[in-house]
Amino acid sequence: MKLFSLPVLMLAFCLLITVLSPAAAFAEEAEEIPLVYFTDDISPEGLVAVYEALGWTPTGKVAVKLSTGEPPASNYLRPELIADLVQKLDGTIVECNTAYGGFRAATAEHYQVAEDHGYTDIAPFQILDEYGSMEIPVIGGTRLTGDLVGTHFTDYDSYVILSHFKGHAMAGYGGAIKNISIGLASSMGKVRIHSGGTSDTHWHDELHTEFLESMAEAGKAVADYLDDRIVYINVMNRLSIDCDCDGYPEEPDIHDIGILASTDPVALDQACLDLIWEAEGNESFIERVTELDGLHTLEHAVEVGLGTRNYNLININEGPAAENEAAPAEEAPKA
């Protein structure tokens, strides 16, 4: 029989305790909780700073996905706020056509809106589905097997998802998940999502739960396809209960809050909603989210593996001392 020295046995014992210890397992799990960076400085400098906090380096050709905003008076992100970041990235601003009419359903008119709203003054601009759709796979979905994005989607190597956080008349709220699902879907892909995967040609408003779940699954398809070549930024200003697809939105009841960024879109949207739940004057926004079951998108996003609702919030204005862990998913805001 082979004998081991006391030091060797002690080392083996310590390794065994490390492997079996619940505390060690928890520590390993805790390390996987995503970081969400926050600044209350809603300015070009603040936007660049919160992006840089991510420590992410894009590769190749960079797309900056945003909503161009429906005329005449939507709360789209203004060029003067985003120009420094877009130009720092040497990025191309990208969008897709809508599926509900308005000034952004036809390619030529949509390019005109982008020009009218000042985007073409600060960077190249492209409508990803101007020449139609391509399909990327949805892995593990229950509503979708494929997500229809614009044919120009694969022209870009890295994506910065730059979203104006706000309410939404169908989804309850709009943030990072909506921007990579409905936002990056081609006009035909938008119909597929809104119909809960039942049609590419007919919009079915009555399939509401199916729509919410399809958003999460389409977002998962984009995140899977890009892997670590995508990051997410939400700007919490002009916090109307209405989306930027509404040309006549309600005036906000909540004061501007800040800018948040993360590599996890679920954690990012959850962090924004948590801030809404804590904000003064939040009643109309909370009513919009809860009446439309908007939190279900987050629930399903977790189920399909898009991300987690837990996060550590780091205020870049104050440093690591401002780090906080979010409530577990089951304790997140509910109606």
Q: Determine, yes or no, domain membership for 171.
A: yes
The reply to whether 305 falls in a domain is yes
CATH of residue 199's domain is 3.40.50
86 within domain boundaries: yes
pLDDT of 101 reads 87
Q: For residue 196, is it left (φ>0), alpha (ψ between -120 and 50) or beta?
A: left
- Sign of the torsion formed by the C-alpha atoms of 237, 241, 245 and 248: negative
Burial code (b: 16+ CB inside 10 Å, e: under 16) for 235-263 equals bbbbbbbbbbbbeebeebebeebbbbbbb
Residue 205: per-residue pLDDT: 81
The answer to whether 68 and 100 have CB atoms below 8 angstroms apart is no
* 262 and 317 Cβ atoms separated by less than 8 Å: no
Strands 312-315 and 35-39: parallel
Angle in degrees, 0-180, between the axes of helices 265-278 and 295-304, rounded to the nearest 10:
150
Number of residues in the chain: 335
- Sign of the CA dihedral 211, 212, 215, 220? negative
Structure confidence at residue 320 (pLDDT): 52
Residue 8, domain member (yes or no):
no
Looking at residue 326, its pLDDT comes to 45
318 falls within a domain? yes
What pLDDT is attached to residue 16?
A: 36
What pLDDT is attached to residue 203?
A: 85
- Total domain count for the chain? 1
* 295: in domain: yes
Helix axes 208-226, 187-194, angle to 10 degrees: 130
For residues 47 and 259, is the Cβ–Cβ distance under 8 A?
yes
Q: Nearest-CA neighbor of 163 among 260, 233, 64? A: 233
In-domain check, residue 10 = no
At 151-179, the pLDDT tens digits run: 999 999 999 999 999 999 999 999 999 99
User: What is the residue range of 214's domain?
Assistant: 34-331
pLDDT at 88: 98
- Examine residue 203 and state whether it is found in any structural domain, yes or no: yes
The pair of structure tokens assigned to 83 is 């120009």
Per run of 10 residues, the mean pLDDT along the chain (length 335 residues) is 38 37 38 92 98 98 98 98 98 97 96 98 98 98 98 98 98 98 98 96 90 98 98 98 96 98 98 98 98 98 98 87 42 42
